[in-house]
Structure 1
Amino acid sequence: MFNLLYKELRLAAHPNLFIFTALGVLVIVPAYPYGMVFLFGCLAPFITFMYGRETNDIHYTALLPVKKSDTVKAKFLLVILAQITQLMISLPFAVLRLYVLPEGNPAGIEANVAYYGFGFITYAIFNYIFLTYFFKSAHKVGNAFILAIIPASLVVLLMEVIVHFPGFVWLDRVEPSFLVRQLPILFVGIVIYIVSIFAAFKVSVRRFERVDL
């Protein structure tokens, strides 16, 4: 499995995957809609899968002495690795902005606990729709992306807008007392992300087994 993931990183991953993964640093930018970070985390796999389609990566992998399920697993691990790395990169900058930009983010939600919870939900929705649809044919990347990015974008839009309503201002705060209130959102987001990955993997393997390469 490690060899397949290594192959994904060295051969299948488009350079933009690494660039967009590094864009977790955008949470330090003043007056910027930080939800865009998650959309970049969705755009990166799309570009990589599109690149893989043009280079016949799936067909090449099928010629290797591996099971179809391992091919799916390698793609899943690549997407998960990119998204979690993006979040990890953003964390120190989210902390740093508390000191260098104490006035907050007028453009939308702060990079706080609730923000990361919504991020996991955004990734979960995108991954499930995108990956399960892609492995239905192993080449319709554009259709899979359009179907997946619309609901993912709606979650980001909701996250950015809802903090401007009086009853939800606690979602935009970074004080410890408010962060405790936001913890359930982070917990639910992580659970949804994990469950969606396992569910999407099962569906994707089943669909990919039927694909005639």
Structure 2
Amino acid sequence: MAKHRSQNAGTTRRIAAASAAVATMSVLTPGIASAAEVAVPGTGFGVEVQGVENIPGVANIPGVEQYIPSLAGQAAPAVEAFTAAAAPVTAAAPTSGNQAVVDAVRSKVGAPYVYGAAGPSAFDCSGLTSWAYAQSGKTIPRTSQAQAAAGQQVAISDLQPGDIIAYYGGASHVAIYTGNGMMIDALNSGSPVTERPIDYMPIHSAFRF
């Protein structure tokens, strides 16, 4: 008898839970005349609920046919369209924001070195780097030491075209990295703006704006 009472108590609890679910769904679907059976799996208990089949998205709930048998095989065709629309879209990787810097500095190869000059026809080293960045819409400090202090430090192994390389112990000279182990700089009065290997002089640091 104790076992029988336990089974009855379990059934009562399942019926109560099902009734609560039915009551909730009834509240969500006021005024809808059509009805469908809502069943409690494994109990044989079920009840007709008005409008349950019309609840938006109910047919797409995983396993819903166990509770509303009449919905078996009736998943809304819009689900595929929704899934496709919700699928993440992978954006194309943006091009380097400093390519304009490289293009600008390369256009000045051959321009004369003049101490204190910042373009557009003659340059010193930091005048060249600050002018090239200005062509891409970025304002950076004027002197080599200030540029080295303000930029985001990067490892030489992580250089990207458009990064600035500082040379010598006090970051007294700067150049723009152009890729493939090369840089462009305005070195001194005996040399115009030139593209040369990055290890042409002792490297102090590299940085990015």
- In the superposition, the TM-score normalised over structure 2's length comes to 0.22
Find the structure with the greater CA-based Rg.
2
Larger RCO of the pair (alpha carbons < 8 Å, separation 6+): 1
Higher helix share: 1
- In the superposition, the TM-score normalised over structure 1's length comes to 0.22
